[in-house]
């Protein structure tokens, strides 16, 4: 069996969130992956399938996919080139270099960096590693739900699973994981921020929508177009996907509350998922009859993310809250 790069992360009950929401709430701590986010699950799997005889990999990323790709490439003794947009913070670029990756900074948003990564893969004969749109990524990500099912045991079933959506890779992986464990009747709450809401726009329009720009500060949710599979799952009727959008302010408040209550720092992309509980959205969905009352245990995928440190958190707070 191929070596795994990701770890089986803890599933922790949050007493404060459980109290707030009125149902036991479990945090799947993907922030504790070796690369700091869930991305290593899918990227590890994809690289093992596609890159064992490669002369090197090239990955486009808002940050976290790149760190996962650089980590995996180092473990596989492959050279890695990571292409990031100018919006990726310096500490992420430094981390990529610390993993031995060569970093190119191209364009303003992920879509620009991706075009360059595709070009490089063709011109240099490198294996292209996409951050969210590939069946091998979704298969790798699906292990997150298999672990949740094993940790909760055969008698428990979640009332809902909450995830953040950027390009939709995590969402597709979670849906496949639900399929694998026979939980297709568990609704998924898919969270985005205003200005990085390409999935919500697609769901509303009933077709893929390309955003004009990414105005959210949650740059790691900043793909302009969601992957087709995510939209197809939402239209398929096989699974209920509730698409919701929060403001950057709500995502930031969630990051701050999570830091205070759970003593874990995550980036804004992850704050979008946490805002579903902290901003009262779950309660609102129950009031609207879109989630049952009482609700079974909630599972929040704490997707993690390294695009944050104390200084950036303080800057974001100034920018978004004016304090």
Give first-to-last CA distance, the chain, whole Å: 52
Please choose, out of 20-28, 58-66, 246-254, 287-295, the segment that lies near ligand PLV by the rule CB under 6 A. 58-66
Interface with ligand PLV (CB under 6 A), residue total: 28
CA dihedral 263, 31, 170, 298 (to 10 degrees): -40
CB of 305 to ligand PLV, least distance (A): 3
300: part of which helix (H) or strand (E)? strand 298-302
> 257 to 276, contacts with ligand PLV by CB under 6 A?
267, 269-270
Q: Burial of 206 by CB count in 10 Å (0-12 exposed, 13-18 middle, 19+ buried)? A: exposed
Peptide bond into 276 cis (omega under 30): no
Strand ordering across the sheet containing 57-60: 102-105, 80-84, 57-60, 127-129
> 74 to 133, contacts with ligand PLV by CB under 6 A?
110, 131-132
Q: Which two tokens stand for residue 191?
A: 């969270």
Is residue 189 near ligand PLV by the rule CB under 6 A? Answer: no
Is residue 177 near ligand PLV by the rule CB under 6 A? Answer: no
Is residue 168 near ligand PLV by the rule CB under 6 A? Answer: yes
CB of 19 to ligand PLV, least distance (A): 26
What is the DSSP pairing of strand 11-13 with strand 25-29? Answer: antiparallel
Comparing CB distances to ligand PLV, the nearer of 23 and 253 is 253
The answer to whether the beta carbons of residues 268 and 252 sit under 8 Å apart is yes
Is residue 245 near ligand PLV by the rule CB under 6 A? Answer: no
CB of 23 to ligand PLV, least distance (A): 24
Please choose, out of 5-13, 163-171, 200-208, 274-282, the segment that lies near ligand PLV by the rule CB under 6 A. 163-171
Looking at 167, 187, 271, 297, which residue binds ligand PLV (CB under 6 A)?
167
The answer to whether the beta carbons of residues 271 and 308 sit under 8 Å apart is no
Q: Which residues sit at the interface with ligand PLV, rule CB under 6 A?
A: 37, 39, 61-65, 110, 131-132, 164-171, 220-223, 267, 269-270, 303-305
């Amino acid at each position: 069996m191929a070596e795994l790069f990701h770890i089986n992360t803890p599933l922790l009950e949050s007493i404060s969130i459980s109290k707030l929401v009125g149902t036991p709430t479990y945090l799947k701590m993907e922030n504790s992956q070796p690369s700091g986010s869930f991305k290593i699950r899918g990227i590890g799997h994809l690289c093992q399938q596609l890159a064992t005889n490669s002369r090197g990999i090239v990955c486009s990323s808002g940050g976290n996919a790149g760190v996962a790709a650089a980590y995996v490439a180092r473990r596989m003794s492959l050279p890695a080139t990571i292409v990031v947009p100018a919006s990726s913070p310096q500490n992420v670029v430094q981390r990529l270099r610390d993993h031995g990756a060569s970093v190119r900074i191209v364009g303003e948003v992920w879509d620009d960096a991706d075009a360059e990564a595709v070009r490089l893969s063709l011109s240099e004969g490198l294996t292209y590693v996409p951050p969210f749109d590939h069946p091998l990524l979704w298969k790798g990500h699906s292990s997150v739900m298999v672990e949740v099912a094993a940790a909760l045991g055969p008698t428990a079933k979640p009332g809902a699973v909450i995830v953040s959506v950027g390009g939709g890779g995590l969402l597709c992986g979670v849906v496949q994981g639900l399929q694998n464990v026979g939980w297709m009747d568990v609704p998924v709450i898919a969270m985005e921020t205003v200005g990085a809401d390409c999935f919500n726009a697609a769901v509303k329009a009933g077709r893929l929508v390309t955003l004009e720009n990414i105005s959210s500060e949650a740059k790691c949710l900043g793909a302009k177009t969601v992957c087709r599979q995510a939209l197809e799952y939402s239209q398929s009727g096989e699974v209920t996907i509730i698409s919701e959008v929060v403001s950057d302010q709500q995502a930031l408040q969630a990051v701050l509350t999570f830091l205070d209550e759970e003593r874990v720092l995550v980036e804004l992309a992850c704050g979008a998922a946490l805002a579903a509980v902290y901003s009262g959205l779950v309660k609102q969905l129950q009031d609207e009859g879109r989630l049952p009352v009482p609700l079974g245990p909630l599972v929040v995928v704490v997707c993690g993310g390294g695009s944050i440190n104390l200084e950036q958190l303080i800057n974001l707070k100034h920018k978004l809250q004016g304090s």
